[in-house]
Amino acid sequence: MNIYKAEEIEAFLQRFQSRRSQVSREITESVERILADVRERGDAALIEYSARFDGVDLKPGDFEIGPEIAKRAHQSIPADLLDALRQAKDNIARFHRKALPQSWFSWEANGAVLGQRYTPLERVGIYVPGGRAPYPSSLLMGAIPAQVAGVKEIVITTPCGSGGEVNPTILAAAVELGIDKIYRLGGAHAVAAMAYGTASVPRVDKIVGPGNIYVATAKKLLYGQCGIDMVAGPSEVIVIADDSAEPAFIAADLLAQAEHDPLASSILITTSAELVRAVEGEIAVQLPRLSRRQIAAESLEQYGGLLIAESLDECCRISNLLAPEHLGLHVREPWNAISRITHAGAIFLGSYSPEAVGDYWAGPNHILPTDGSARFFSPLRSEDFLKASSVIAYTREALGAHSEQIVRFALSEGLEAHALSIRVRGD
């Protein structure tokens, strides 16, 4: 990993932020063609793209995975892994139930009733990655908040192998969640199928879940046709540390992010040059032990960095500029430092709160804003599966008390019928 001293940090930030560029026109045009094709030809297009991208020969009746296949996969999973899935499911559900918004109504003194009524979406699609690595945890993180919100129907799409096989742990997680609409489809064409609907794949109201650049681009282009959670880019972590931090912990956290993808980003920002040297040494020890060491090494070389800042305030300023997906605070007083953080998807306080505990276990969602979008996006939440309706109930007396002001507003905009709709009720 490259080391950047205080005077070099601004140049690093400019280079790093330049990777947050628009998706190439070539990728966008390719995805646009896929979406248009699926919209026009439905299942026939899905068959062709499954053969082209996944090397699998499917017929429309093969898209959906039957309950017996899912049940056999569930039975094949080791008992200890099933126990872990169940406990994680409970933790995630417990967290999201606490944050679920409630409908409310307010009775005003003039007799009017105002409020907000929440109702769940009817059908939601979960995209579960299965390319470089399968992510059953992403299924839990996408589906459980939807179930807590009261979504009636959940549809899963996930890539398959050339023989049509789907990762058994993903299927086992679906069984544990009680979801039986599972489709062996991946990539932009899977997203298009859920957004438009085909003869075999039902149309959904919202699509959530991470994916590669083609999946992310498809979601972005389809926003408005259906809802989406966010447009996610490569995964990223920043660790802010002082001289009290444990180098081995930091190195492990940086590598945990780097092994995702060559485009992933792992950055340490610290006030201690000695810590930087120690973390560099730990990475050299830990990296060769990883099965995905080539991916991790490429990520660290291209998008990693060890930054030496002049103060903790400067560390936090840099982090806020980058608005990371994950932020670890390995400092003496993390609860004090968190007050200086304004932009981050998930914040992990202290040396014993590694990112992995959030990825799998603690309860908060690991579907998080990336690429600096934590400045304006939030983690996936149960409320993302609800829609709010404003409720307005005026009595004759309440309307009459304010009719002249409303009429004045309407006429100022030249909308005479609006004004008439108020006046006619006063006659």
Distances (CA, A) of 380 to 99, 213, 321, 403: 11, 19, 22, 42
Q: Is 325 one of the catalytic residues?
A: yes
Find where tokens 């947050």 sit. Answer: 20
**In whole angstroms, what is the distance from residue 329 CA to residue 347 CA?**
7
Out of 236, 259, 282, 325, the active site residue is 325
- Cα Dmax for the chain: 85
Local structure of 117: helix, strand or coil: strand
**402 included as an active-site residue:** no
Q: Which residues of 399-423 are buried (b: 16+ CB within 10 A; e: fewer)?
A: beeeeeeebeebeeeeeeeebeebe
* 76 CB neighbour count, 10 Å cutoff: 11
The one-character DSSP state at 223 is B
By three-state DSSP, how is residue 152 classified? coil
Residue 367 and residue 382: Cα distance in Å, rounded?
Answer: 12
Tokens coding 60: 């429309």
What is the DSSP-derived secondary structure letter of residue 53?
A: I
Q: Which residue in 74, 96, 260, 326 is the catalytic one?
A: 326
Alpha-carbon distance of 406 to 394, in angstroms, equals: 13
Active site residues per annotation:
325-326
